[in-house]
Every structure is written in structure tokens, then in C-alpha cells.
Structure 1
Amino acid sequence: MSTPDSVGTARWIKSSYSSGEGECVEVACLPGAVAARDSKNPTGPTLLFSREDWAGFIRGVNADQFRP
């Protein structure tokens, strides 16, 4: 699983769909996990997800399961 050091040295990426207005989520692939953070606050909280949970989330996004 990841450690605080792996989060601090991670390569963070934004979606190619990002509007460039600073309201983005960044993600990083870490050993055994995927991290997500607010791009406006890179030193703020980071959420860690198992790779399985992240894959399930992406499947849900692609299936449009999160629209109201």
C-alpha cells in the first residue's frame, strides 16, 4: 500500500477534459492504490482508493451511473 512519501513524490495528472479554470481533480497511480486530490489545494487532503475501487468508480462514470 502507499505511504505518505509515495503521495508526496507521486506524478499527478489532470484529465484532458479539464477546463483549465482550476476546478479540477488530479489523480496519481501509487503502489497498490490510486490517489485523488483537489488541484487548487495540492498540499491539502488526499483521498486514497484501492485499485479495485477506483476501477469500479471509472466503470460507473463510463456507464453514466452518477447523473441525477
Structure 2
Amino acid sequence: MEQMNVPAWRKSSRCGTSTCVEVAKVEDQYLIRDSKNPEATALSFTKDEWDAFVEGVTAGEFRF
């Protein structure tokens, strides 16, 4: 019997008790979901897409 990869969801330590996004890595995909609706379909990104997102966050591209 083949074992399915179960995501190990992680949430930022800055979230506290508030609603946050959660991130998991399964094989070569990065998954993102809303912590208040974990049953909903997660968004899926490749390593290159995830790396571009992290670089953008680090560079401040998403600050309002």
C-alpha cells in the first residue's frame, strides 16, 4: 500500500491567535491555505514561483 504525502502545515509565529495563511511543502510543490478554512483547496506553487514570492517579500514589494 502506497502512503500519501500528508502536508505538514506551518503558520508564522507572528500570527498568534489571529487568522493567517499556512504553508506546507509536498514533494516539489509549495502549498498555501487559509487557516480559517483549512478544508478549502490549497493554492499550489512550484519552487521557482515560491522563490520569486519569497524574494519579493524580502525586497518589500508587497508593502502598502
TM-score, reference length from structure 2: 0.85
TM-score, reference length from structure 1: 0.81
Structure 2 residue aligned with 1:11? 8
Return 5+ residue gaps in structure 1 as ranges.
Answer: none
Q: Distance in 1 between matches of 2:30 and 2:48?
A: 9
Structure 2 residue aligned with 1:37? 33
The 4+ residue runs of structure 1 with deviation greater than 2 A are none
- Bigger Rg over Cα: 2
Out of 8, 17, 21, which is 1:25 matched to?
A: 21
- For the aligned residues, what is the CA RMSD? 1.2
Return 5+ residue gaps in structure 2 as ranges.
Answer: none
Structure 1 residue aligned with 2:59? 63
Look up the equivalent residue of 1:36 and give its one-letter code.
Answer: I
The percentage of aligned residue pairs carrying the same residue is 39
